Structure 1
Amino acid sequence: MFSAILHKSRNSTSTFLQHSRIWFSTNNQVKRTNRKNLYSRISPLGDPSVSVVPVLDNWLQEGHAVNAPELQFIVKDLRSHKRFNQALEVSEWMSSKGLCPISASDQAIQLDLIGKVRRLDYAESYFQNLSDQEKTEKLQGALLNCYVREGLVDKSLSQMQKMKEMGIASSLSYNNIMCLYMKKDLYDKVPGVLAQMKEDGVSPTIFSYKFCINSYGARSDLANVEKILEEMENDSCISPDWPMYSMIANFYIKEGLEEKALFYLKKCEDKADKSDTLAYNHLISHYASLRNKKEMMRLWELQKSNCKKQRNREYVTMLGCLVKLREFGQAEELLREWESSGNYYDFRVPNILLIGYSQNGLIEKGERMLQSMVEKGKTPTPNSWSIIASGYNANENMEKAFQCMKEALALQAENKGWRPKPNIISSILSWASTNRDAEEIEDFVNSFKNVIPMNRDKYLPLIKAYVRCGKGVDGILESMKIDKIKLDEEIESILGSRL
């Protein structure tokens, strides 16, 4: 539930570590010959702009051997960490050097990476340049996956039909088509794929059933959700897992059917491993949606007793649920517990409480909390100050919103992935155009113009301030021309007022 918040606000210290590792690049790789294996040299190169090819070449120059299992492991690890460009470099280096045999799986992974890193037409070209013998089931499936990822219905179905005619359509292929229909919101087509799958003699997997149940749930067809679930429960080869029951409980929560939701939450809890923190996170979030604080707290205590350590993710979930129920006292107590837990100080955790304060009219309290953390020597993320700025903006306290957003923008160099919300920036600029001098507004604009695109609404307050202060606007008009922003009637009127 709160994973979107967790995902959007990046960890500033993590970013710092990434930048500190850039020294481990082509200029210094020769000096690092004490690394014991190839993986230990490539793994630290977290910055995607750093090529791993010089590391691979140096490894050979130093007289080390390479083997397929090691390179395959490195490619797999890089893919799992979404370092796709570097994974493709290793894959292509492996095939180009001819130092070890290249399997069909290696080629399929390379095709998939080409589709991810480059355009689809490069992946298609790679496939076409393979010999007929090389266009195996794995390669055909990888091409289908590329089409599905791009959401290309016609090409996906054409490729699927080709695979069926070749007799190589597997459960994964059918699941891919179901995934495509879900992606394109063509929910009514998903059950037909499952039916065709059975008719073609291909055994459905648990994912096949999940796609089908999800398609019915998306249409609020809970009768058919129950029907497919019953089919699964009667199948001796496939048993519903806790995520399945969690998903179904969520459908009933959305429909306001609390009794049925509680029934499936009980099944979910019974099915989950008692030490599975992710299962507890799901259950706690669902009970928060039902506003059932008693069950939330029971599961939190169970989680703490059954799991060795609560990571930041678990605190984010629990804090988010307490905030949702406006239990700010308990949320503050939990935050203190987190601060003394020994976990890495990730501002994404307190940001949850800051968001709660901001959205519930307690923005001054949120700012005091953030200031207290700064006084303790903690460096917030830009998003922390941006949350406070948004709260003040909502309360129309624009002076405070302006100051807090300046604090956020001052920190963006340490968190380059962060982007201020354009609507908050526009609102602050509109206020500043009549309440701040031109130089201060210009400094403010300069602090964000390299991370969010300039448009007419961002130039307008600057023009207003310059005209009000009697400053020349030729430089602004030139910048607008470069950005291909035309003068409209309002801007012409403001410029005309100088006369």
Structure 2
Amino acid sequence: MWALRRASLPLSFPLASRNQAFNIGTSRVCCANLELPMTDRHEDVCFFESCKSLSDECLPSKRLYHTTCVSWNFSMDKHSLSSQAGAKSNGEEDDLEDGFSELETPSSVEAIPEINGNDENIDELISEPELSEVDEEVEVSQHELELSETETDPSDKISRKKRNPLALYKAILAFPGFSVHGALDKWVEEGNEINRTQISMALLNFRRRQMFGRALQLSEWLEEHKKIEFNERDYATRLGLIAKVRGLQRAENYLEKIPKSFRGEVMYQTLLAYCVSTSNMKKAEEVFNKMKDLEFSVTAFTCNQLLLLYKRLDKKKIPAVLLLMEKEDVKPTAFTYKVLIDTKGQSNDITGMERVYETMKVEGIEPEISTKATLARHYAAGGLKEKAEAVLKDMESGSLKQNRWACQSLLPLYAELGNANEVRRVWKVCESNPLFVECLAAIEAWGKLKKIEEAEAVFDKMLKSGKKLSSKHYSVMLNVYANNKMLDKGKDLVKRMADNDCEIGPLTWDALVKLYVEAGEVGRADSILQKAAQNNQKKPMFTSYMTILEQYSQKGDIHNSEKIFHSMRQAGYTPHLRQFQSLIQAYVNAKAPAYGIWERMKADNIFPNKSALAQLAQVDPFKKTAVSDLFD
């Protein structure tokens, strides 16, 4: 029996406002107290009607439909789900957070038989950066490194390299320039072997450090030189990297070249994960339908990806996915509950969030640290300090030294509660031998508490570690300067990045944009973003564009708002509701009519919620007024 169905607790999700909600009564999910948005086209305006109950006929099929009409229907005749166009967004309003564009495809599609985790962890590696405060880095234990570095037998040099799982990765990094092919050719010429463990660790580290181009070169070289026999997951690795580096169209072209015997479910899971990572709702649903056409079974992985997508872009569809899971007898995983808990928290439904959390435990699924961190974060955001502190103490489980892995979550959460003493206590546990993820969490925490010197001290500790820092590491410190409006220090840090040959990429651009915006220099931020978009192969993050668009919108600057809106489309970000709302607000603030804005929304298959309808009414060039009636 499905866990959420058994629970006698309602799951409610908001529509256009908090006063409008639809509930899934889990005593009988498919028909009890279910209110779903139905739309009626009348004079080009969408109105919501509620459907109090659905019979079994109304249960969605395993197929998703993306249509050109501006409606979202549960059709008795078609048994289908239809959607509006999705696009990348961020923020609490539309449920996306910074860094979402950097999400990765599942590690299960990597060729990593030696270190591959269980299937339930696949979702974590795709989506965890959005649900946790800091991405987790892949690091080999200190003991393992010491063993590989203290070998004393000179004749065992090649054997040492073979045993050290990071040897190949380090050799590629150390090779002059950026030619991965050259590094690999040299590696083989020196008599070194290439095994799957080394390949796995190299790919994993490249991906974690966002060096997707190098990871793709490694995969290309392996296929070209046939150093390993490619299996389905190896092809899927290549497919995901092509999508990440060269775009979805190139990935789909490569898919057609893969031998049919290897064109299985993992391939389409990879494409689905990529579409979710880029918030491409239309394409994600197309991939889902393709999987249905190929008669792949509906899995927890697939449903979890849809839940994650809809949490960010269209919460109204979450109940439909839950219904689908029940109909197909798909058991919710820990990640399913985590997404639902986060959705509830973002909707300020603390009672609902607690019910989902309790249901999770009743069903025998032990909440992980990241799930508890999500719970505590929403308690803190809701001003429930005592409840948040109770969860944090539970995360510590008595002894932090024995539960060291909790520190990276505890640091920013204690800072969220404004408790500097607790941040200092937790950091003291890590300070003598910190991992980079703990350092980043500490920098973030001290930044939230506006203790800049403490944050800088931790950053200097990272610099002195002897390890090369990536743009991600610098960006955390850069964001601290941005949040505290320290423009000069931020500029100096970027110069230091360049001096240390650190790649200046999307994360850095995003932090720079925020830095200049917080300093009141929106035009300068705009200029940096436009240059970054024109002169680099990588596209800027969605959040970078939205930060500037919202600033122009607040000023009522229609010209520049339209320019940024157009730039986002050029960069490949399909418009969705939040972008249009920011654009419309520019017209509202400028007290100017927005000719054709409704037609533009319909062309992108987007329909307004309650607040957007109110905005549209304000900028309607043909609206009736007392004066206009007199002249008519």
Match of residue 376, structure 2, among 235, 241, 249: 249
Give the secondary structure class of the aligned counterpart of 2:178.
coil
CA distance in structure 2 between the aligned counterparts of 1:141 and 1:190, rounded to whole angstroms: 19
What is the Cα deviation at residue 123 of structure 1?
0.8
Match of 2:243 in 1: 115
Give the secondary structure class of the aligned counterpart of 1:291.
coil
Match of 1:460 in 2: none
Amino acid at match of 1:344: S
Match of 2:258 in 1: 130
Match of 1:260 in 2: 387
Q: Deviations over 1:257-311 (max 9, x none)?
A: 223323322333339964444522432432332233454455445x25xx86245
Give the secondary structure class of the aligned counterpart of 2:397.
helix
**2:227 is equivalent to residue 103 of structure 1:** no
Amino acid at match of 1:161: N
Contact 1:335–1:350 (CA<8 Å) still a contact in 2?
A: no
CA distance in structure 1 between the aligned counterparts of 2:197 and 2:480, rounded to whole angstroms: 47
Match of 1:177 in 2: 306
**2:419 is equivalent to residue 292 of structure 1:** yes
Contact 1:198–1:204 (CA<8 Å) still a contact in 2?
A: no
CA distance in structure 1 between the aligned counterparts of 2:254 and 2:459, rounded to whole angstroms: 50
Match of 1:397 in 2: none
Q: Deviations over 1:157-195 (max 9, x none)?
A: 232234345133322111111222234x32332344244
CA distance in structure 2 between the aligned counterparts of 1:223 and 1:312, rounded to whole angstroms: 36
CA distance in structure 2 between the aligned counterparts of 1:354 and 1:105, rounded to whole angstroms: 39
Q: Deviations over 1:17-44 (max 9, x none)?
A: xxxxxxxxxxxxxxxx999569735534
Amino acid at match of 2:256: Q
Give the secondary structure class of the aligned counterpart of 1:158.
helix
Contact 1:71–1:94 (CA<8 Å) still a contact in 2?
A: no
Cα 1:44/1:187, change in 2 over 3 Å: farther
Give the secondary structure class of the aligned counterpart of 1:45.
helix
What is the Cα deviation at residue 112 of structure 1?
0.7
Amino acid at match of 2:299: S
Match of residue 386, structure 1, among 480, 484, 489: 489
Match of 2:63 in 1: none
Q: Deviations over 1:449-481 (max 9, x none)?
A: 987989xxxxxxxxxxxxxxxxxxxxxxxxxxx
Cα 1:325/1:136, change in 2 over 3 Å: closer
289-298 or 218-227, which moves further after superposition? 289-298
**Aligned counterparts, 1:334-413, within 5 A:** 344=465, 355=481, 385-387=488-490, 412-413=498-499
Q: Deviations over 1:366-416 (max 9, x none)?
A: xxxxxxxxxxxxxxxxx8x434x8xxxxxxxxxxxxxxx7x9769855456
Contact 2:310–2:318 (CA<8 Å) still a contact in 1?
A: yes
Amino acid at match of 1:386: K
CA distance in structure 1 between the aligned counterparts of 2:241 and 2:377, rounded to whole angstroms: 34
Cα 1:277/1:153, change in 2 over 3 Å: same
Amino acid at match of 1:176: Q
Match of 1:87 in 2: 215
What is the Cα deviation at residue 240 of structure 1?
0.7
Amino acid at match of 2:302: S
Contact 2:360–2:366 (CA<8 Å) still a contact in 1?
A: yes
CA distance in structure 1 between the aligned counterparts of 2:386 and 2:518, rounded to whole angstroms: 41
Give the secondary structure class of the aligned counterpart of 2:383.
coil
Contact 1:141–1:173 (CA<8 Å) still a contact in 2?
A: yes
Give the secondary structure class of the aligned counterpart of 2:172.
coil
Match of 1:143 in 2: 271
CA distance in structure 2 between the aligned counterparts of 1:356 and 1:53, rounded to whole angstroms: 39
What is the Cα deviation at residue 213 of structure 1?
1.2
Structure with greater strand percent: 2
Contact 1:249–1:265 (CA<8 Å) still a contact in 2?
A: yes
What is the Cα deviation at residue 199 of structure 1?
2.9
- TM-score for both structures, normalised by structure 1: 0.58
**Aligned counterparts, 1:202-217, within 5 A:** 202-217=330-345
Say which structure, 1 or 2, has more relative contact order (CA 8 Å, 6+ apart): 2
Cα 1:429/1:48, change in 2 over 3 Å: farther
Q: What number of residue pairs does the alignment pair up?
A: 363
RMSD: 4.8
Amino acid at match of 2:325: M
Contact 1:288–1:296 (CA<8 Å) still a contact in 2?
A: yes
What is the Cα deviation at residue 207 of structure 1?
1.0
CA distance in structure 1 between the aligned counterparts of 2:449 and 2:225, rounded to whole angstroms: 59
**2:330 is equivalent to residue 227 of structure 1:** no
CA distance in structure 2 between the aligned counterparts of 1:203 and 1:263, rounded to whole angstroms: 30
Give the secondary structure class of the aligned counterpart of 1:108.
helix
Unaligned segments of structure 1, at least 5 residues: 8-32, 364-382, 390-404, 431-444, 455-499
Match of 2:181 in 1: 53
What is the Cα deviation at residue 243 of structure 1?
1.7
What is the Cα deviation at residue 54 of structure 1?
2.7
CA distance in structure 2 between the aligned counterparts of 1:243 and 1:258, rounded to whole angstroms: 18
Match of residue 281, structure 2, among 149, 153, 161: 153
CA distance in structure 2 between the aligned counterparts of 1:262 and 1:285, rounded to whole angstroms: 13
CA distance in structure 2 between the aligned counterparts of 1:337 and 1:99, rounded to whole angstroms: 42
Give the secondary structure class of the aligned counterpart of 1:262.
helix
Contact 1:68–1:101 (CA<8 Å) still a contact in 2?
A: no
CA distance in structure 2 between the aligned counterparts of 1:205 and 1:164, rounded to whole angstroms: 21
**2:315 is equivalent to residue 187 of structure 1:** yes
Cα 1:196/1:35, change in 2 over 3 Å: same
Contact 2:444–2:476 (CA<8 Å) still a contact in 1?
A: no
CA distance in structure 2 between the aligned counterparts of 1:147 and 1:137, rounded to whole angstroms: 15
Cα 1:317/1:85, change in 2 over 3 Å: closer
What is the Cα deviation at residue 229 of structure 1?
0.8
Amino acid at match of 1:266: K
Based on CA coordinates, which of the two structures has the bigger radius of gyration?
Answer: 1
Amino acid at match of 2:335: F
CA distance in structure 1 between the aligned counterparts of 2:478 and 2:522, rounded to whole angstroms: 23
CA distance in structure 2 between the aligned counterparts of 1:112 and 1:256, rounded to whole angstroms: 41
Amino acid at match of 1:114: I
Contact 1:216–1:225 (CA<8 Å) still a contact in 2?
A: yes
Match of 2:407 in 1: 280
What is the Cα deviation at residue 344 of structure 1?
3.0
Contact 2:436–2:462 (CA<8 Å) still a contact in 1?
A: no
Amino acid at match of 1:149: S
Structure with greater helix percent: 1
Cα 1:119/1:411, change in 2 over 3 Å: closer
CA distance in structure 1 between the aligned counterparts of 2:247 and 2:463, rounded to whole angstroms: 44
